[in-house]
Structure 1
Amino acid sequence: MPKKEERLRLVLIAPETADVDAAARMIGEALKGGDVASVILPQYGLDDTSFQKLAEKLVPVIQQAGAAVLVAGDSRVAGRARADGLHISGGTS
């Protein structure tokens, strides 16, 4: 059986900004910087409508670069934006 090649890949966290176009540019540039496996897209302080617009703009940019998009915490936004998954954080108890 051939040995599977193992490699480390990067996970990025999208920057906090309400400027959708600036976020798309920053993430697009960051994705060129290495072997990125996924990008986590947090809501930060955005309202639901603004977060949805941000996700709909960023998901295609990230996916076209070959990385997966994980929307933090909101399955509705993840589904509507066609993200690859959901990032859930929790406490120790």
Structure 2
Amino acid sequence: RQQSTFTDHDLARFVHRHTDDAEQFGEAMSAVRTSPELVALGQDGRGRDRYTTREMLATEARLERTAGDLADRRGHGVSPAARMNALAAGER
């Protein structure tokens, strides 16, 4: 919920905070690592394996599509006259 990508270390810290003992930690880490929701992204600049979730990838894809759609729109532009009026009002 706090990061779009994370490392094994980040996963271990999260699981550790939410488990009671070593056995439960091991089971939870195994479940997380084998989850179909976990997506391996490869190594970062420091050589650490990075991961994300399918949900985050879908969210980022939606954001990218929406940004592209907004960039293609020309109907909400500001006319030169309106821009000049706004700038003049700001200077007053």
Shorter-chain TM-score above 0.5: no
Instruction: Work out which of the two has the higher radius of gyration on C-alpha atoms and give 1 or 2.
Output: 2
More helix by share: 2
More strand by share: 1
